[in-house]
Structure 1
Amino acid sequence: MDEEVRVTPSPDAEPSRNPSPPDTAPDGGYGWVVTTSVAIINGHSWGISAAYSVFLAHYLSESTFPGATALMYATVGSLSIGVTLLISPLVTIMARELGTRPTMLIGAILQSASLVCASLSYKIWHLFLSQGLLFGIGMGLLFLPSYGIIFQWFTKRCALANGIAIAGAGLGGLTYSLAVGAMIRNMSLDWAY
């Protein structure tokens, strides 16, 4: 009883004037701007995280927060990296629902706010919340969505573009570690954040 109806295009039908976009990435051009942007994001995110070792050395030598143990100080840095990676499922959902740009903007705001809050900390639990938890959330919202952007712009030179973007983390780590050390010595801990 059920009849199958097949529709075939007429030979006289005109082809679509809006062809679908190509499935291949542009492999260059603006993709290099995107690669540089991701390298800068990596430099600021992972660079600040790597500079925590300089903060840690200062905290331990100066006993900055009364009653805090070496393990507590070390846990702050570990917490930020752990939270960055643990919120991946949430970041994926946010990027899908809100979009990549808004998700990354929220991350940049949280990351900046965490450093301001860390500079105002006077108890160790303030540092756990600011430089540990809030920085980790901000870093996750900023770094994780940026990871997939390069694949949209490259196919042939994807490995090179990824290498350049990831090298930003190492360059940021070097730069921030040297800068934080100099700022703590010459200005104060509060200005080093």
Structure 2
Amino acid sequence: MAIAELNAATMGIQAGVNFSLRLVETDSPGNMGKSSAILRRQLEYRLVLPLFDAERSAYRWSLTVHRHGDGAADQYTGGEVVAQGNLNPPELATPASKRQTALAVPKLPKKPDYQASSTTPTLNIRTVTSADARTLQIKDIKGAIELLPDSRRHNIEAATLSLTYWPNRDILDAYAELTLMDHQ
């Protein structure tokens, strides 16, 4: 696992997950043209995969929320996967995939605690030119899951973002892996 994390740092993989409050201006019909501001709670995540090649690269990632009752902080035994993605990952069990498989079935709240329509990530591929005039592709995966405004309707305590990335899926043991967690 330490080698996979070192690979991630060496390749320049970037990842992040955090809970945030955003001030959003709204225009409501009852305000007679005046805008008002509301606070939105979001769970934001981002993955940056350098050296990406759609023909050779592979990845799998997941964003899991942990609620009260899913285990002790930093050692959760349960959770709900709210967003995930993959591109031709090899049939190889890695530490992150083993942890994901071992999670107990979550106890879901009686009422939704996040906007289901906000779980689809944005995918983008950018091309950059290196100092030696070579072009490289970078894949960006990002999203912001909107938590419902009434904090009494959810008990999400934390979120875990896991990524396994193979720049070349033909070399099974040459992968990078990151697991990040944020607490609310």
TM-score, L = length of structure 1: 0.24
The structure showing larger relative contact order (alpha-carbon pairs under 8 Å, at least 6 residues apart) is 1
Higher Rg of the two aligned structures: 1
More helix by share: 1
TM-score, L = length of structure 2: 0.25
More strand by share: 2
